[in-house]
Amino acid sequence: MKEQLLTRRTVMKLGAMAGAAAVCPGGAGIVSDLIGMGTGNAYAAEKAPRTIPVSRIPGFNGKQPNIVLILCDDLGQGDPGCYGDKTIRTPNIDSLASEGVRFTDFYSSASLCSPSRVGLLTGRYAIRSGIVFPLQSGGQSTTSKFMQSLARRFGKLGAIDMSVKSMVDGIPDEEVTIADALKVAGYRTGMIGKWHLGDFSHDPQYHPMKHGFDEFFGTPMTNDELPNPLYRNEIMLEKDIGLNQARLTGLSTSEAIGFIERNKGSQPFFLYLAYHAPHLPLYASENFKDKSGAGIYGDVVEEMDWGVGEVIRYLKDNGLEDDTIVIFTSDNGPWYNGNPGEDFRRRKGESYEGGFRVPLIVRWPGKIVPGSLCTEPAQNIDFFPTLSALAGVGTPPDRIIDGKDITGLMTGESKKSPHDALYFYHVEQLEGVRSGDWKYFHYVNHYTWPQPLDKPTTTFGKMSQDKFLGNWPNLYNLKTDPGENYDLASRYPEVCTKMEKLMSNWEKDIKANRKGWIKKQ
């Protein structure tokens, strides 16, 4: 095997596949059934141009702000200094917080990359679009597809955690992104960095420029999914970034500034800057390598902090800062390195706070009180309705938008979250709900991949649940116990009943209308 393919994800995949192969009972029936799984592509056929069911709000006379949305990959809420980390130096992110608002109880809408990103861009939980698991590259070999399919079969027994996959290969055309909506509002739109909503090098319909972005620079896949090509707009610049990744943060930063340079002017702009960092594998450039007190992970975060500072400096130097809302967040909790924040339980891939809680800092001079704090719960599905409202466009009337406008929480005009309930999915399974200070779980997948032996939906899980492992449901009070250490379910049965009702009603609605279409009256 070539050195460049030995990323952590590759090793994990191989381990899972080897495990599956070792216990494979064989049989021509299964083999013929498995070959070809996932090779079909429902979106490959020619289609009519997309229509965007969004319109400007009549009478809107607000000043449309420029929008810079900075998304990190796997950055823990606790990593920036303003969230409490004492080891990694993040002066630029900290300045954003001292000049804007910092949210303590902000959540991604999934604990994994692709589902969190589709939630962020569409304002809808990932279950609606069907992107429920990190999307794989479209160029897998037949052998690889066969082994993955086999592994999923064994996953259903509880032997390995590959029982599920995304229901689609990329973002469906029917979904409306923030960029689509902002274009209707007259914005110039650009995306830089990691897309991860479909491998457009194999399926061009998943390209960001087919989903509302005027410009693109970056890669279709995550940085450990190789080969991962580098694109400018729809032109492939490199077939594979490989492990030559120490340049990525610098490249994304200079491209971000280039986008603003090209597009500042009469039209407002929307920049979605999705850094590849600090997702594994970790590479920092020479200026940052071995400089932090937190190993290579700290080096990478400090370089990204520098990038954030460069973008802000450009806005300030060009008189754009008062007209620009800057949003800084992450797509899910930290993975093997990183600080989940406070004493939050667990990490990426799980529904405990450590998997979902992410930083959110919003800076908008003159609109947001410098150094303010918001402790109300919100989730990244809220960006779509919030930014649409600020830009003067309505949300699509033909579908349910799960997010809410949180402008009031950002400015301090509202003291209460617009959400009665926030939901926590593991892949396609609803595991928990937060309402007020309470968080309630049916079950939590302990992501000790690839051996989720306690998963209640598997054969092994059913056998072991009551006897050895599980003790569900669980109820936590996040105000007194943010670490989710002490189960209060038996003490507060009436709260459990209320939370159970929230979950069962939600699941009933999803079952009846997963995609959330609203029929015309």
Interaction site with Ca ion (CB under 5 A):
73-74, 113, 331-332
User: Minimal distance in Å, beta carbon 117 to Ca ion?
Assistant: 8
Q: Which lies closer to Ca ion via its Cβ, residue 332 or residue 351?
A: 332
Please, are residues 332 and 116 in contact by the beta-carbon 8 Å criterion? yes
Minimum CB separation of residue 311 from Ca ion in Å reads 20
> What angle do helix axes 248-263 and 295-317 make, rounded to 10 degrees?
10
Best CA proximity match to 488, nearest among 441, 431, 423, 421: 441
Closest approach, Cβ 285 to Ca ion, in A, equals: 21
Nearest distance in Å: CB 340, Ca ion: 13
Of the candidates 213, 329, 307, 209, the residue with the CA atom closest to the CA atom of residue 263? 213
Using DSSP, state whether 392 is helix, strand or coil: coil
Q: What pairs with residue 245 in β-bridges?
A: none
d(CA 417, CA 108): 15
In the complex, least distance from residue 272 CB atom to Ca ion, rounded to whole angstroms: 15
- Which amino acid does the sequence have at 387? L
In the complex with Ca ion, the residue whose CB is nearer, 137 or 477, is: 137
Torsion of CA 22, 27, 33, 34, to 10 degrees: 20
Minimum distance from CB of 334 to Ca ion (Å)? 9
CB of residue 111 to Ca ion, shortest distance in Å? 9
The residue among 17 and 113 lying less far from Ca ion, judged by its C-beta, is 113
* Closer of 73 and 161 to Ca ion (Cβ): 73
Q: Indicate the residue whose CB is closest to Ca ion.
A: 113
Three-state secondary-structure class, residue 119: helix
Residue 467 CB, nearest approach to Ca ion (Å): 35
- Of residues 379, 433, 421, the one with CA closest to residue 403: 379
Concerning whether 113 is annotated as a catalytic residue, the answer is: yes
- Structural contact between residues 340 and 356, judged by C-beta atoms closer than 8 angstroms: no
Nearest alpha carbon to residue 211 among 192, 187, 236, 191: 191
Cβ within 8 Å of residue 290, ≥6 positions away: 299
**In this complex, which beta carbon is closest to Ca ion, that of residue 117 or of residue 165?**
117
Could you tell me which residues come within 8 angstroms of residue 311 by beta carbon, excluding any fewer than 6 positions away?
68, 70, 253, 256, 257, 260, 273, 326
CB of 464 to Ca ion, least distance (A): 30
β-pairing, 438-441 vs 188-194, is unpaired
Q: Which is nearer to Ca ion, 108 or 395 (CB)?
A: 108
CA distance 440 to 352: 10
Tokens 């990323």 — which residue?
7
Annotated active-site residue 196? The verdict is yes
Active-site option among 72, 196, 374, 446: 196
SS3 content of the chain, % helix, strand, coil (to 5): 35, 15, 50
Preceding amide of 229 cis, omega within 30: no
Nearer to Ca ion, 153 or 348 (CB): 348
- Nearest CB to Ca ion, comparing residues 274 and 478: 274
Q: Can you name the residues that pair with 393 across neighbouring β-strands? A: 56
Q: Compute φ and ψ for 108, nearest 5 degrees.
A: -70, 170
- Alpha helix segments (H runs only) across 166-272: 178-184, 248-263
The catalytically annotated residue of 113, 279, 426, 442 is: 113
Q: Between residues 116 and 149, which has the closer beta carbon with respect to Ca ion? A: 116
Residue indicated by tokens 């381990």 = 15
3-state secondary structure of 45: coil
CA distance 422 to 110: 11
Question: Looking at the annotation, which residues are catalytic?
Answer: 113, 196
